Amino acid sequence: MIEFRDLYKAFGANRVLEGFTLEVRDGETMVIIGYSGTGKSVAIKHVVGLLEPDAGQVAVDGQVVAELSRAALTGLRATIGFVFQFAALFDSMTIFDNVALGLRRRPGISEGDIASRVAEALALVDLAGTERLMPAELSGGMRKRVGLARAIALKPRYLLYDEPTTGLDPVTSAVIDQLIVRTREALGVTSVVITHDMRSAYTVGDRIAMLYRGRIRQVGTVAEIRATADPVVRQFIEGRPDGGRAAERASLSQTGQELGLEGVDA
């Protein structure tokens, strides 16, 4: 279980998370949606201790991440797969080494096992045979899928996907969605998926949470979100240029400027 408890995080004057609270239950896939720049990536980076909260906590299996010792944090990280929004492949290493790196960390796993796990993970993202290439030789979408393979190869207990399908063609997106669903069925993994793509959100999610202005605006099952009465959430899931958010913005624009929020969702 991953719990975000009343999380606050600011970068200088830019207050990103303000009372972010969310519970991800064991075995479920939680989708987080929200406008660009609202802090979705910032929120999940707290789960693996890449960022520390200004206030509040993130707990994984009851362990508060920011309070863990270095060794305990390393142990926790070994159980979590993280798919970065921009892949974050090691550009001085081959695709094989990129995917193998995390596995090499595991005690008692032979090079032969590593090679087969890497091949298996690459096949899952439809990139079999790219082992010897360098990241620079791949397209953006291919790199993204290598990032996915790198996380899945670890067979972790938790998987955090930061926009796994953004920038992929519709068919590849659907393949990745399927992969997320299948990974969950095969490994029983607990996942958080950040996405803008509502079709993908409905396919992979058990529940959907919308992050808005630093906190969760609404969280519910796919059916509940699809039937939402909240105008802000409605506008987002329907992708309309005007709606609840525009109306709210007009009334809040004064406050928004004082809070330095203008331009955040430009």
Partner 1 sequence: MVTSLGRRSIGLVTGFGQFGRFLGNVARALPDVRTWGGLTAQQMRRLGVDSLPIALFIAAFTGIVLALLASYVMTGAVPPYLVGTLVTKTITMELGPVLTGLALAGRVGANIAAELGTMRVTEQVDALETLAYNPYAFLVIPRVLAGLVMFPVVVAFAMGMGIFTGWLTATNLLPITNAEFMRGARLFFMPFDVWYGLLKSASFGFVITLIGCHLGLATRGGAEGVGRATTRTVVYSAEMILVLDAYWAVTLLRGHFQ
Ligand X SMILES: Nc1ncnc2c1ncn2[C@@H]1O[C@H](COP(=O)(O)OP(=O)(O)OP(=O)(O)O)[C@@H](O)[C@H]1O
Give residues in contact with partner 1 (CB under 8 A): 45, 48-50, 70, 74-75, 77-78, 80-82, 84, 86, 88-92, 101-102, 105, 150, 154
Residue nearest to Mg ion (CB): 41
Q: Taking contact as CB under 6 A, which single stretch among the options 37-45, 55-63, 216-224, 250-258 is the one that binds ligand X?
A: 37-45
Among 29, 38, 41, 195, binds Mg ion (CB under 5 A): 41
41 lies in the site for ligand X, by CB under 6 A: yes
Q: Which is nearer to partner 1, 56 or 81 (CB)?
A: 81
Q: Which is nearer to partner 1, 75 or 170 (CB)?
A: 75
Please say whether the dihedral angle defined by the alpha carbons of residues 202, 154, 68 and 46, taken in this order, is positive or negative: negative
Q: Establish how many alpha carbons lie within 13 A of residue 68's alpha carbon, considering only the half-sphere containing its beta carbon.
A: 24
Q: How far is the CB of 135 from partner 1 (least distance, A)?
A: 10
Q: Collapsing DSSP states into helix, strand and coil, what is residue 164?
A: coil
Q: How far apart are CA 37 and CA 14, in angstroms?
A: 11
Q: Collapsing DSSP states into helix, strand and coil, what is residue 15?
A: strand
Complete edge-to-edge strand list for the sheet that includes strand 29-33: 80-83, 158-162, 190-194, 29-33, 207-212, 215-221
Task: Please list, in sequence order, all residues whose beta carbon lies within 8 angstroms of the beta carbon of residue 210, skipping any fewer than 6 positions away.
Answer: 32, 33, 34, 216, 217, 218, 219, 225, 232, 233, 236
Q: Taking contact as CB under 6 A, which single stretch among the options 18-26, 31-39, 89-97, 181-189 is the one that binds ligand X?
A: 31-39
Q: How far apart are CA 27 and CA 204, in angstroms?
A: 13
173 lies in the site for Mg ion, by CB under 5 A: no
In 10 A of CB 143, how many CB atoms? 22
Among 25, 26, 27, 36, binds ligand X (CB under 6 A): 36
39 lies in the site for ligand X, by CB under 6 A: yes
Q: Which is nearer to Mg ion, 85 or 94 (CB)?
A: 85
In 10 A of CB 240, how many CB atoms? 12
Among 40, 46, 145, 184, binds ligand X (CB under 6 A): 40
Q: How far is the CB of 200 from ligand X (least distance, A)?
A: 14
Residues that bind ligand X (CB under 6 A): 11, 14, 16, 34, 36-42, 85
Residues that bind Mg ion (CB under 5 A): 41, 85
